[in-house]
Amino acid sequence: MSEESHRIGSRLNELLVAAGLEPLGASVCDRFGEYCSLLVRWNARVNLTAIRDEEGILSRHFVESIASARALPVGIDSLLDFGSGAGFPGIPIALCRAEIAVTLAESQGKKAAFLHEAVRVLGVGTKVHTGRGETLGTQFGCVTLRAVDRMQEAIIAAGLLVRVGGWLAPMTSIGELEKVKSAAGADFDWGRTVKLPGSDDRILALAQRKVSSRA
């Protein structure tokens, strides 16, 4: 990895510690630095994220996604990042939780192209599905989603992709949580929520699928 990637990764670790989180190991830290550099370069010509500066990407996207990755229950073997966008939180999960086979689903072609490039550059064994998550013909041990359009509709579709015993893990807000629960329906048991750093309102909500009543 380059000196630039190392510098960015070191700054990320400073932000993690400031948020009360454990720092990353050196190798993973440098890969996050490479990811950030790639994202900044692509953002200059493709609208991947509204937050475009390095510090904002680190403090909002990366710290929040890393916190979510660490909060996911143990035992998850496969995960779908539904509407992955620029790869949050799917790529950070792949970097932090190597035991989880991650798939990124993104229907917008330019964003999907970025995801393919990020996966190649970072050397992670992550699959990219260029299309809507609903078109995947499989279920996963966990489905996560963050900042997707029409969240309540997305929750309904995402819930169908969670296998029985698996987890639905939306990154949402306290104010939207009841709407998210209602959209998911009676198939899910909602457990703890995890407060995400950098905001008084942002949370990771966790729900386990208990039945398979919907087809």
pLDDT tier at 81 (50, 70, 90 boundaries)?
A: very high
Burial class (CB in 10 A: 0-12, 13-18, 19+), 116: middle
Residue 159, both tokens: 């819930």
Average pLDDT over residues 164-178: 95
Distances (CA, A) of 214 to 4, 95, 105, 119: 49, 33, 22, 33
Alpha-carbon span 203 to 154, nearest angstrom = 17
- Beta carbons within 8 Å of 55's beta carbon, 6+ residues apart: 11
Domains defined along the chain, listed by start: 3-209 (3.40.50.150)
Across all residues in the chain, what is the average pLDDT?
94
Cβ atoms of 39 and 57 closer than 8 Å: yes
CA dist 27 and 43 (Å) reads: 25
Q: 103 φ, ψ to 5°?
A: -120, 130
* C-alpha triplet 159, 60, 64: angle, nearest 5°: 45
Question: Using CA atoms, how far apart are residues 82 and 156, in angstroms rounded to an integer?
Answer: 12
pTM recorded for the entire structure: 0.95
pLDDT for 50: 86
Confidence of residue 215 (pLDDT cuts 50, 70, 90): very low
